[in-house]
A and B are shown apart, each in its own frame.
Chain A
Amino acid sequence: MKLAYFPGCKIDFYLKDYDTSFKSLMEKLEVDLVQLPFNCCGYPARSTSFEVSVFSSIRNFALARKYNLDIITPCKCCFGQLKYASYQWRENKGLKQKMDCLLADENLFWDGKTKVKHLLSFLYNDIGVLEIKKKINHKLPEKKIVTQYGCHALRPFTITGFDNPHAPRIFEELINITGFKTVEWSKSTECCGNPIYETNKNLSLKILDSKLKAALESGADHICTACTHCQIQYNDLSFQKQCRKYNITPVLFTHILDAALGESRKNNQAKKGCRNLI
């Protein structure tokens, strides 16, 4: 299988771990990743201009279309935005026309056929839980995990179609096959606070704090994320002090699954990530 890898803006600089473990995971699942010169998914521009945000996404689609590849991204925000843009592009005729013209200026075009997958939905729908379970050769210790779903993949459901927006299951199922046990908490589908981190840091961290408290009440050891932004938010330094206080650490889903699929020889960094976990 061959997919265009859409890392998103943040992963390279802020969360290299996610990048490497994601790649290592894909390697183990025999997925070829192609790196294209993608630009920003367009999500940040949603604040300033609807048109810009849609165009940014469509341009990425057109790039992937050029190589006849579907897109996979480990970031929920990018996933949501790409879905959202493809919907707007299709629904809004005037917008579509303008986008098509702009693409033509760069010798690009898009016919709407490129699909975008998020890491989780890809694993769940395209590879299958059973298939992954077969490959697991390293049973992880029974640690308690709470899941951070990430808003933009989950909602609006009518656009992203990711999972049941009120009671999602995909994430839990994928974690539970590794040996880790997910526990229930009330805030798995709530926002991590990252979108307003830059503008209203105080509120952003307040929201995060409430999540941590709820996670603590549920008795979890780790909060598991599968989104660049959520993880960056949990990695926030001032916040990590509190994490240590509560003894809860955020972990990346890719690290968990990567560890469960056995140690990778090639990729040192990914290996380190796995080890830390176990």
Chain B
Amino acid sequence: MKNKKHITCDITVIGAGFAGMVAAARASALGLKTVQVGNSSQLYFASGLFDFLGVYPLHSRTVLQDPLTGLSLLQKEMPEHPYSKTSLEAILKSFDFLARFLQSTGLNYIKPDKENRSVLTSAGTFKPTCMIPETISKGCLLKNDTNLLLVDFKGLKGFCAGQIADVLKKNYPNILTLSVGVPGGNGNLNPAYFATMFEDSSFLKEIATQISPFSDKVELMGMPAVCGINKSLDALTRLEKMTGLDIFEIPMMPPSIPGLRLKNAFEKKLAENNVHFLSQAKIKSPQFNGSEFILNAVNQNMETQIKSRGVILATGRFQGSGLHAQRGCIKETVFDLPVYQPDKRSLWHHLDFFEKQGHMINTAGVETDNVFRPVDTDGTVVYENLYAIGSILARNDWIRLKSGSGVSALSAFTAVNDFYKKNAAGDIDVSD
């Protein structure tokens, strides 16, 4: 027999990825007693950039400068898409909430603009995105004739300034590169540990002395996104002062430091807001007794019975194990909800990895009503107070559309607001 524990709460968020975190943030901000279950390490995979809608339509691979035109087209053409369930204002509001929430933890984001921003990645490509951390923001100042210095660090795998420069050479001819030797080790640097070194002022000074010779040759400097974890902006500003350059970070492949910053910020603030977090627990045999959900959060040593009026399902897709693909079909793992999916496995994936329309399997997921409550095949709501948010939502190929964070934030925000409106607040307006 495992040790048993009982918790009663207003709302349970299953999942601790980006969407789950936003939901828990919103719920706790509204004063709901919140329990969160999941594995927050998924945020190590988050780029830390909040996309809204980057590419639409897919077949023409149109990179959107102005997401709003794309959105209206998408809402017209894809009425089932999560974005089509709500308005532009709601999306902007959810981003706004998110920005304020993160600001309260000391993580500054540049609020959404009318235009998408292009963020340089470590592959030398540009990623269209909407809301970005302040440490990355100066990269948007990059123009074709900018004198740019790209810095990499010896031993930091997967990031080569020369590579980015070579790839960009055609359009950005004035790029200089510099490989900085890291004081106290020239070998194998792991980003998370390396990032902490930037919070040390003596380390910053040594880095700065290597960069300073370039300060009158260039106006802008790009470096891998490893500049500090908990005080990233502070570290970056200090480095800027020492070198006299405008500096921006370039996101690289996971484990991503901007993602880690998000993780820390969410975790800290949510714990302060008294969100009860059950790390790595799994929900087994959830039940609904007519008025509340009874969820068994099981982990190795304990079984926590959660009685909760509402449930937010933010378990993600395959990587987050919200969906599980067997050889023949795709299942939802917690409530066994109906999953919208291609008819057979041969349709799941295209032969070309970079197929422009994207792989069909990425549209699989849970279908919902307008407030993100999962619906049955015939369109009826499965449970009154069960919401599905984030990447588990069907018909949203967020990887291709570059719409991951937007859909997550929007659905989380809408779902929690809806729950609050119906269950706690009466008819108070919760739009703020």
Contact = CB atoms under 8 A, between A and B. Distances in A.
Q: Do these two chains interact?
A: yes
B199 interface: yes
Interface stretch (A38-46, A50-58, A156-164): A156-164
B229 A161 contact: no
Contacts of B280: 156-158
A244 interface: no
B301 A168 contact: no
B12 interface: no
A217 B229 CA distance: 14
A127 to B, nearest CB: 18
Interface bin, chain B: 20 to 34
A158 B299 contact: yes
B279 interface: yes
Interface centre among A91, A166, A213, A217 (most CB of B within 10 A): A166
B414 to A, nearest CB: 26
A213 B2 CA distance: 41
Nearest to B268: A167
Contact of A158 (B196, B230, B267, B279): B279
Interface string A139-173: 00000000000000000111111001111110000
A186 B199 contact: yes
B3 to A, nearest CB: 7
Given A112-B1, A158-B280, A161-B301, A167 B267 contact: yes
Interface string B261-300: 0011001101110000101110000000000000000011
A86 B301 CA distance: 8
A159 B5 CA distance: 14
Interface centre among A158, A169, A213 (most CB of B within 10 A): A158
Nearest to A164: B277
A14 to B, nearest CB: 30
A122 interface: no
Interface string A191-219: 00000000000000000000001000100
18 contacts: A87-B300, A90-B2, A115-B3, A158-B302, A159-B299, A159-B300, A161-B301, A164-B271, A164-B279, A166-B264, A166-B277, A167-B264, A167-B271, A169-B271, A186-B196, A186-B199, A213-B200, A217-B199
Interface of A: 83, 86-87, 90-91, 112, 115, 156-161, 164-169, 184, 186, 213, 217
**Which 5 pairs across A and B sit closest by C-beta, in order of nearness?**
A158-B299, A167-B271, A167-B267, A158-B300, A159-B301
Interface of B: 1-3, 5, 40, 196, 199-200, 229-230, 263-264, 267-268, 270-272, 277, 279-281, 299-302
